[in-house]
Structure 1
């Protein structure tokens, strides 16, 4: 029961923390808490990951990833449509892992535990009941 809450919170904070980093909230580029530190550095990284996409798509892919991470992060945090969101999050993390592996090699996917995150999401998606979630609250109130 508590393990699924922990997985939801862990993946949600990972998504939201990554977004905070690319928006500069964890510090400027080169500081100890920042991987990117700003949007431009994130887009450059995204372009490396998406080497197969045309340059005209660089901002679209970076914005798309960011929007997905924000939306999925918030939905996991509150526990809304949790099963579907968990499966979609696992799929997104698998796509991230595959593009990271193609771009930088498999080791980097282990450094960032992307496979662990994807696996955790897929495992979370096997649950049907999510205590401590908006889903559970809404279900209880529908029955009344």
Structure 2
């Protein structure tokens, strides 16, 4: 039970930390992007095959997905589904990083590991501190 809760919180924290960085919440000393514009520049860098006009939409959709997935995992709403979606999003991100700038960045930022963790979470059936448990018992 503790491992499942740990995975839910760790994956969520990773998503929310990245989102916070895009909005300048992290200090410049620890920030990867530091602001929305820098994040969009990085989004273009790892998606060079997309027209530049698509980048703001891709950035916004990815950011919204990360927020939604994180909140759902934290509260335990449809955990299996949102764990699978999180694994897919992280794997897509890892492949984009790998194809555009090489595998080192995806490995250094543990994106493949985070994706694997999310997929593993989706296979854990027991419920612990999950909203789904309350919904099912109603």
- Pick the TM interval, shorter chain: over 0.9
Partner of 1:50: 47
Deviation of 1:135 after TM superposition, in Å, equals 1.1
Q: 1:61 aligns with which of 41, 50, 58?
A: 58
| 1:98-128, Cα deviation, whole Å (9 max, x unpaired) | 0000111101111110011000111111122
Q: Structure 1: which 4+ aligned runs deviate by more than 6 Å? A: none
Counting matched residue pairs gives: 138
Match of 1:36 in 2: 33
The two structures, once aligned, show a CA RMSD in angstroms of: 0.9
Spell out the pairing of 1:110-129 with structure 2 (5 A cutoff): 110-129=107-126
Q: Any residues of structure 2 matched to 1:69-88 within 5 Å, and which?
A: 69-88=66-85
Quick check: 1:10 aligned with 2:10? Answer: yes
Which 5+ residue runs of structure 2 have no aligned equivalent?
A: none
Q: 5+ unaligned residues in a row in structure 1: which ranges?
A: none
Shift of 1:18: 0.3
Deviations 1:8-67 (A, max 9, x none): 00000100110000000002xxx2211100000000000001111011101011101101
Q: Distance in 1 between matches of 2:35 and 2:47?
A: 18
Please tell me whether the aligned partners of residues 87 and 121 of structure 1 are also in contact (alpha carbons under 8 angstroms). yes
> 1:22–1:36: 8 Å Cα contact kept in structure 2?
yes
